[in-house]
Amino acid sequence: MKEILCKRKTKKPIGYRFSAVLAGVGLLLSATAASEETSQVISLPEAVMMTLNYHPELKALLSQEQVWQGRIQQAGVGERPQIGLMIEDAMGTGEHSALKSTQSTLTYSWLLQQEQIDSRVNAAKSEATKLVLEKQIKALDLSALVAKHYIDILVKQERLKLNQMAATQAEEVVEAIAKRVKAGKSSSVEVQLAKAELIRRELAVEDVEHELKASQYQLASLWGKPAQNYHLNGNLLSVPAVPSVENQLALLKQNPRLQQFVSDQRIAQSQMELARIEAKPQWQFTAGLRRYEATDDFGLVAGISIPWGDGNRNAGMIAALQAEQDVLASEQSALMQSLDAQLYVLLQEMAHSQHVIHTVQTDIVPTLETALSEANNAFEKGQLSYNQYSGVRRELLSAQTQLLEAFESLHLQHIEIQRLTGTSLSQ
What's the pLDDT tens digit per position in 98-154? 666 677 777 777 676 776 777 777 777 777 778 888 888 888 999 999 999 999 999
d(CA 97, CA 118): 50
pLDDT average, residue stretch 289-308 = 74
Q: Using pLDDT thresholds of 50, 70 and 90, give the confidence band for residue 20.
A: very low
Report whether pLDDT(352) > 90. Answer: yes
Q: For the residues 74-89, what does the mean pLDDT come to?
A: 75
pLDDT band at residue 21 using 50, 70 and 90 as cut-offs? very low
| Mean pLDDT, residues 333-338 | 89
Q: Which domains does the chain have, with CATH numbers?
A: 2-425 (1.20.1600.10)
In this prediction, residues 317-336 reach a mean pLDDT of 82
- Looking at per-residue confidence, does 241 or 33 come out higher? 241
Four-residue CA torsion sign, 226, 412, 53, 261: positive
- Per-residue pLDDT at 380 exceeds 60: yes
pLDDT recorded at residue 7 = 43
> What pLDDT does residue 315 have?
75
Output the pLDDT for position 90: 66
Compute the Cα dihedral for 236, 239, 240, 243 and give only its sign: positive
Q: What is the structure's pLDDT at 167?
A: 95
Q: What is the pLDDT of residue 31?
A: 34
pLDDT at 300: 80
Query: Average of pLDDT values for 321-346?
Result: 86
The CA distance from 400 to 396, in Å, is 6
∠ Cα 182 186 188 (to 5°): 75
Do strands 39-42 and 230-232 pair parallel, antiparallel, or not at all (unpaired)?
Answer: parallel
pLDDT range class, residue 227, cuts 50, 70, 90? confident
Strand partners, 197: none
> In whole angstroms, what is the distance from residue 226 CA to residue 219 CA?
7
**Do 53 and 225 form a contact (C-beta atoms < 8 A)?**
no
Across 48-57, 233-242, 350-359, least confident range: 233-242
Confidence of residue 91 (pLDDT cuts 50, 70, 90): low
User: Picking from 34-38, 41-45, 269-273, 278-282, which range would have the lowest pLDDT averaged per residue?
Assistant: 34-38
pLDDT in the model for residue 5: 45
Per-position b or e across 116-150, b if 16+ CB within 10 A of its CB: bbebbbbbbebbbebbebbbbbbbbebbbbbbbbb
Query: Is the CB of residue 181 less than 8 Å from the CB of residue 382?
Result: no
Residue 403 has pLDDT above 90, yes or no: yes
Query: Would you say how long the chain is, in residues?
Result: 427
Beta bridge partners of residue 287, listed in sequence order = 108, 302
Residue % of the chain over a pLDDT of 90:
31
Q: What's the CA dihedral at 390, 392, 398, 399 to 10 degrees?
A: -160
Tell whether the model's pLDDT for residue 1 goes beyond 90: no
Render pLDDT for 164-220 as a digit per residue (tens, 0 to 9). Answer: 999 999 999 999 889 888 877 778 898 999 999 999 999 999 999 999 999 999 999
pLDDT given for residue 154 in this prediction:
94
Q: What is the pLDDT of residue 12?
A: 43
pLDDT band at 15 (very low <50, low <70, confident <90, very high): very low
pLDDT at 201: 95
Residues of the chain with pLDDT > 70: what percent?
84
Report for 32-36, 162-166, 297-301: range of highest mean pLDDT: 162-166
Average pLDDT of the chain, as a whole number: 80
Of the listed ranges 8-17, 151-160, 293-302, 411-420, the one predicted with least confidence: 8-17
Q: What is the mean pLDDT of residues 376-398?
A: 89
223 and 57 in contact (C-beta within 8 Å)? no
Q: Which of 4-13, 321-330, 408-417 has the lowest mean pLDDT?
A: 4-13
Q: How far is CA 99 from CA 85, 87, 292, in A?
A: 16, 10, 10
The band of 16, judged by pLDDT with boundaries at 50, 70 and 90, is: very low
Model pLDDT, residue 32: 33
For residues 319-333, average pLDDT: 82
pLDDT at residue 153, as a whole number:
95
